[in-house]
Amino acid sequence: MEDITRERIEWAKDILGIGDVVTYNEVVQQWRRLVKKLHPDVGGDDKKIRDVNEAKNIILRFIRNCPCSLEAKDGSDWWDRRFGKLWKEK
């Protein structure tokens, strides 16, 4: 499997028309919209549909390989980790 570079991710985001923060489902939904619009059976271009498919695969592979914390957190956790010792020492 090829390495997913920052350049490939940026290219894929441009092809799909997605932003910097997306969910797996949002990527799939956008891909479906583009496939319906660009599919060769409805007059679309073969190269464009290949690019859309490749872009989807790049982004989804990246999402699947990114770590995701399942730890319950709220804003107070950050403050406690950051400054908790200071408050407890006083």
6-64: CATH number: 1.10.287.110
Map out the domains of the chain as residue ranges. 6-64
Prediction pTM value: 0.73
Average pLDDT, the chain: 86
How confident is the model over 32-56, as a mean pLDDT? 92
Q: What is the pLDDT of residues 19-28, one digit of tens each?
A: 999 999 999 9
For 71, other C-beta atoms within 10 Å of its C-beta total 5
Q: Is the dihedral of CA 16, 9, 67, 82 positive or negative?
A: negative
